[in-house]
Chain A
Amino acid sequence: MWYALKAELVYFRVWLLGGLGIAGGVSGLMLVLKFLVDDAEGIPGFLTGMFLFIAGMVVSFIVQSYRWEERRTRLLLAGTLTPRQLAGVMVILPVCFMSVGALAGVVMIGLTALITGNLDPADLRTTAVLGVEFWAYAQMGPLVQEATAARRQGRGRAAIAGWAVFAVAVLLLAVGMFFRHLIQANLGQMTAIVMAMVVAAKLYTGRTDYTR
């Protein structure tokens, strides 16, 4: 599984680097503007890093829609990989992309703080809430794909379970935005993420058709 995961990461690193490059460019431009205008109130400090988080999410969406079905078919025929292992690759890939995006985002926020000399704790809170929120969005992709596949394959109960978990996850994410405490918000988001990962993997291993 790790070998297949590594191959996917290597293959899509161009997309990731490109996405991070664009996001980094936008963040850098904001940083320059912030420096030139000298208006610390005008642009929130977390915003420069947020673009890099978003880049991780967008690349996750691209990967989820890019010939995954075909490649899973090929991998399933490649000797030793089981559907459970392929499900693992499917749900762990967004984690990897989001981790790289988050790392770059945190570095950018640190850079912003160094340049402006101002690190507002509220910025860190907002970063943590929005960052995990974007990660949760990225994990919803496989869940929606698998719930749709279950419906298409006539696995009615599996499809209902998938869509129900999706609805609960969206509810948790929506409610989480209103929590004042970071831990409460992140707890709700993490619950949604774990639920989405587990159910997406479960739905994938229960497929009756691995070709589409």
Chain B
Amino acid sequence: MNDHRPGAAARLSGLTKRWPGFQLGPLDLVLEPGTVLALVGPNGAGKTTTLNCMAGLIVPDEGGTEVYGSPVHPTLVEYRRDIGYVGEENGFFQGWKARRNLDFLAKLMPGWSKDRARRLAERFGLPMDKPVNKLSHGNRTKLALVAALAHGPRLLLLDEPTSGLDPVVRSEVLDVLWEITEDGEHAVLYSTHVLSDINRLADELAFLRDGQLVLRTGRDELSERWRRVSFRLQHEDVELTGVVEHRRVRAEHQVITRDSEATLQQLAELGAEAVEVSRMSVDEIAVQILKEGHHVVRAES
């Protein structure tokens, strides 16, 4: 990773953080402007730590992050202008109204636009005159989003922004995020384990498991390559290219393949009959990738 073009929205170079019994990375990742990258992984995979390192809230043991060419470190302030962050905890004054919290932040944040904050709050339908501790979980998330967006950051770091939200609010939040990224200038890195969000927002997916980046790919590329294939074949122990899951009941087989072209070609050569191919949704594919290793299940009766 010696690519140092200043144009990248974020660049992780050998980012490593160790906790007792857990190591994140080393991670190498480049996020281009206009990209929405979903960081997908189970709980404890290292998504929050990655985002916190990128926001400068956690100092990595090795490697580092740059945001639009500025190095990230808690003692530096330059990079913070470009970052909007929504974390697990919102950090507001709980007894103050939403409006007062935003007014407080406005004086600390260079580039804060009260007009932008007001428009976002209206767009979200955020009750500005309610104390934060009286707001619902959804409204607190909306407030955190307004606080993260009001200074016009070019990179949004969102840690499970839709977690715990009801479907209506989740849809509203995703709509706003989609509108923000539509101009192609903003980059978004968001972590999620709500797989249905991926289809809605992400251009690219990065899969984290046990602190390691197991796959980074485009969403469309993923949809094109993965297929569920069922067929009839008399061979008992057939090894098929690209297959990550294989179920067999006598001569009836069902496989999930990450390289449908190669698998189908091999099936044709083997003389498989009654071949049926079906598409998989991105969240189905994500589940397959995040399962412990690409494995072959043989269900025989």
Name the CB-closest residue of A to B59: A208
Residue among A4, A74, A77 facing the most chain B CB atoms (10 A cut-off): A77
From known contacts A3-B107, A71-B91, A211-B57, infer whether A79 and B74 are also in contact, taking CB-CB under 8 Å. no
From known contacts A208-B58, A209-B59, A211-B57, infer whether A81 and B91 are also in contact, taking CB-CB under 8 Å. no
Tell me how many residue pairs across A and B have CB atoms closer than 8 Å: 80
Bound-state Cα–Cα, A76 to B85, Å = 11
Q: How large is the interface on B (under 10, 10 to 19, 20 to 34, 35 or more residues)?
A: 20 to 34
Question: Interface 1/0s, chain A 60-73, versus B by CB < 8 A?
Answer: 00000001011111
Tell me whether B124 is interfacial, beta carbon within 8 Å: no
B92 touches A74 (CB 8 A): yes
Interface residue total, chain A, C-beta cutoff 8 A = 29
A70 touches B108 (CB 8 A): no
From known contacts A3-B108, A70-B89, infer whether A77 and B55 are also in contact, taking CB-CB under 8 Å. yes
CB contacts under 8 Å to B, within A1-39, are: 3-4, 7, 11, 14
Name the CB-closest residue of B to A68: B91
Residues from chain A with Cβ under 8 Å of B55 in the complex:
77
Residues from chain B with Cβ under 8 Å of A81 in the complex:
77, 108
A76 touches B56 (CB 8 A): yes
Tell me whether B22 is interfacial, beta carbon within 8 Å: no
* Chain A facing B: main interface SS: helix
| Distance of B87 from chain A, by nearest CB (Å) | 7
Segment of B93-101, B180-188, B196-204, B263-271 in the binding face: B93-101
Residues from chain A with Cβ under 8 Å of B107 in the complex:
3
| Distance of A204 from chain B, by nearest CB (Å) | 10
From known contacts A67-B94, A83-B75, A209-B58, infer whether A77 and B89 are also in contact, taking CB-CB under 8 Å. no
A73 touches B91 (CB 8 A): yes
| Distance of B300 from chain A, by nearest CB (Å) | 49
CB contacts under 8 Å to A, within B111-157, are: 147, 151
A73 touches B74 (CB 8 A): no
Bound-state Cα–Cα, A81 to B110, Å = 11
User: A residues engaging B (CB < 8 A)?
Assistant: 3-4, 7, 11, 14, 67, 69-84, 154, 205, 207-211
A selection of 12 A-B contacts at a CB cut-off of 8 Å is A7-B104, A67-B94, A71-B91, A74-B147, A77-B56, A78-B105, A79-B108, A79-B109, A84-B75, A154-B20, A209-B52, A209-B58
Question: Which 10 A-B pairs have CB atoms at the shortest separation, nearest pair first?
Answer: A74-B91, A78-B108, A70-B91, A208-B59, A70-B89, A79-B109, A210-B57, A71-B91, A209-B58, A211-B57
